[in-house]
């Protein structure tokens, strides 16, 4: 499944189409050369035991039951190995790294995750320090200092050894609160890593690496230059930087910058199947869903998480058929059929027949400019995800002209 020519208006509304064959409902995709049943992934969520005793092991089982990849958070209340075992053979699991300052510990986490069958490394960049969260402060909520949400760390052999060396032979279990605060101090140290340091991860992880928390097209390009395989365009569900731009607002620009070079994933605000489709139409390859299934987990444990995701999947499947058909039938075909022959014809004509006198040259340059601008206009429309097919019809037939010709003309004027 691919959504390279999306079907959204400039107002990011979906344009429904009718009387399409929907007998095949395939929402499968390929990510990092591996097949996935759907474009939905469970976002990494920390400290799940506070929502329900099923916690991360339950959520991972739920994911496995419906063929959705599960991303295990570093801030989990269950270990890397326990979650892998719970999710079972054949399940898809990814590991999310809150990147410690201590390289030995980082490498140990990566090795454990790889050994336990986690396929993709998701490195969250926006949480080198926990944000100023007034609600949490009002409620004195910081589970880590109570020893909750650090199991990935406190079960790590390198961390345990270093803790013991620093504390006169003490075991983590002897003072779990102290161990937890040492762990948090390393993971949420307040010191951000830098682009150069990504090489440590590259050298120690032989699978795909995805950077989570990218919001600027330049950072997306830097990720690609650093040899990363993907990014998650995410503002952490609005939980980290107060006043940060909406994730969806940045998606088109980021896709334009790197969408053809690396895998662009999206999260923050996906609530329904329609949201999934919008993100895909704007160029994301798949989406991460966070709070909806956590609410499900809170209400009904593992089954609640699973059923929430099932609901989102059901709606996505229905939508996808419609959008997919539109793309296949009209989008690219029209672009190819129209833009390339015109510009090729023009280039050929220009070099062979014309270009004799200065006046002709000026005239030719003008026409050149018009052709170029038409092409860039089309690209602009594509980049901004207008339904090209719809445009094509409106420009060349009269029936729909009133609805679409106005923005089209405005765009023409502004381009010229």
Ligand X SMILES: Cc1cc2nc3c(=O)[nH]c(=O)nc-3n(C[C@H](O)[C@H](O)[C@H](O)COP(=O)(O)O)c2cc1C
Q: What is the set of active-site residues?
A: 236
Selected from 44, 100, 252, 283, the binder of ligand X by CB under 6 A is: 44
- Asked if 291 touches ligand X (CB under 6 A), the answer is yes
Nearest-angstrom CA–CA distance, 314 and 39: 12
Least CB distance to ligand X at residue 350 (A):
51
Distance CA 3, CA 7 (A): 9
Three-class SS of 346-382: HHHHHHHCCCCCHHHHHHHHHHHHHHHHHHHHHHHHH
Asked if residue 278 binds ligand X (CB under 6 A), the reply is: no
Angle 273-281/247-258 helices, nearest 10 degrees? 40
CB-nearer residue toward ligand X: 45 or 280 = 45
Residue 10 CA from chain centroid, whole number: 21
Pairing of strands 29-31, 34-36: antiparallel
List the structure tokens of 135.
Answer: 């609600």
Residue count at the site for ligand X (CB under 6 A)? 21
**Cα–Cα distance for residue pair 40/292, rounded to 1 Å:** 12
- Report, in Å, the least distance between residue 106 CB and ligand X: 15
Binding segment (CB under 6 A) for ligand X, from list 21-29, 195-203, 230-238, 296-304: 230-238
Residue 268 is a binding residue for ligand X (CB under 6 A): yes
Task: Report which residue's Cβ sits closest to ligand X.
Answer: 290
Residue 69 interacts with ligand X (CB under 6 A): yes or no:
no
State in angstroms the smallest separation of the CB of 276 from ligand X. Answer: 11
Question: Which range binds ligand X by CB under 6 A, 52-60, 235-243, 300-308, 350-358?
Answer: 235-243
Question: Any contact of residue 124 with ligand X (CB under 6 A)?
Answer: yes
CA distance 342 to 210: 40
Instruction: Give the largest Cα separation in the chain, rounded.
Output: 90
We find the least distance from the C-beta atom of residue 305 to ligand X, in angstroms, to be 13
Task: List strand residue ranges (DSSP E) for 25-134, in order.
Answer: 29-31, 34-36, 40-42, 70-72, 93-97, 120-124
Nearest distance from C-beta of residue 296 to ligand X, angstroms:
12
Pairing relationship of beta strands 263-267 and 230-233 according to DSSP bridges: parallel
- Least separation in angstroms between CB 237 and ligand X: 3
What is the four-CA torsion angle of 288, 93, 72, 254, rounded to 10 degrees?
A: -30
Structure tokens given for 133: 């969260």
Stretch that binds ligand X, among 29-37, 43-51, 112-120, 258-266 (CB under 6 A): 43-51
215 in contact with ligand X (CB under 6 A):
no
> Segment contacting ligand X (CB under 6 A): 106-114, 234-242, 324-332, 334-342?
234-242
Cα 322 to the center of its chain, rounded Å:
22
Both tokens of 148, joined, read 């909750």
Contact between 96 and ligand X (CB under 6 A)?
yes
Q: Which is nearer to ligand X, 144 or 381 (CB)?
A: 144
Interface with ligand X includes 394 (CB under 6 A)?
no
For the beta carbon of residue 275, count every other beta carbon within 10 angstroms: 19
The one among 156, 186, 229, 267 contacting ligand X by CB under 6 A? 267
Which chain residues interact with ligand X by CB under 6 A?
A: 43-46, 73, 75, 96, 124, 212, 234, 236-237, 239, 267-270, 288-291
């Amino acid at each position: 499944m691919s959504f390279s020519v999306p079907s959204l208006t400039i107002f990011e509304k979906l344009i429904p189409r009718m009387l399409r064959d929907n007998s095949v409902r395939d929402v499968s995709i390929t990510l990092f050369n591996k097949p996935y049943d759907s474009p939905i992934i469970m976002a990494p969520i920390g400290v799940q035991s506070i929502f329900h005793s099923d916690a991360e092991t339950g959520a991972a089982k739920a994911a496995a039951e419906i063929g959705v990849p599960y991303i295990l958070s570093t801030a989990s209340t269950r270990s890397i190995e326990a979650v892998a075992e719970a999710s079972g053979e054949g399940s898809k699991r990814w590991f999310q790294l809150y990147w410690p300052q201590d390289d030995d510990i980082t490498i140990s986490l990566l090795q454990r995750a790889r050994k336990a069958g986690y396929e993709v490394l998701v490195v969250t960049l926006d949480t080198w320090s926990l944000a100023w969260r007034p609600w949490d402060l009002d409620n004195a909520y910081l589970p880590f200092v109570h020893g909750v949400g650090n199991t990935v760390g406190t079960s790590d052999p390198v961390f345990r050894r270093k803790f013991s060396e620093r504390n006169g032979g003490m075991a983590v279990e002897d003072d779990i609160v102290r161990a937890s605060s040492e762990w948090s101090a390393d993971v949420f140290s307040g010191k951000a890593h830098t682009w150069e340091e990504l090489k440590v991860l590259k050298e120690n992880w032989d699978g795909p690496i995805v950077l989570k928390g990218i919001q600027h097209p330049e950072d997306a390009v830097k990720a690609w230059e650093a040899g990363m395989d993907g990014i998650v365009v995410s503002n952490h569900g609005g939980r980290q930087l107060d006043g940060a731009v909406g994730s969806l607002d940045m998606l088109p620009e980021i896709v334009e910058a790197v969408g053809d070079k690396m895998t662009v994933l999206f999260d923050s605000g996906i609530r329904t199947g329609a949201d999934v489709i919008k993100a895909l139409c704007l160029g994301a390859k798949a989406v991460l869903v966070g709070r909806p299934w956590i609410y499900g987990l809170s209400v009904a444990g593992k089954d609640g998480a699973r059923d929430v995701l099932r609901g989102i999947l059901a709606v996505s499947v229905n939508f996808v058929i419609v959008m997919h058909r539109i793309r296949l039938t009209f989008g690219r075909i029209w672009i190819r059929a129209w833009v390339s022959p015109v510009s090729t014809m023009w280039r050929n004509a220009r070099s062979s027949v014309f270009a004799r006198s200065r006046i002709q040259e000026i005239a030719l340059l003008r026409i050149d400019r018009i052709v170029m601008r038409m092409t860039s206009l089309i690209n602009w429309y594509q980049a901004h995800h207008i339904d090209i097919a719809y445009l094509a019809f409106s420009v060349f037939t009269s029936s729909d002209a009133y609805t679409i010709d106005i923005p089209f003309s405005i765009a023409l004027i502004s381009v010229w």
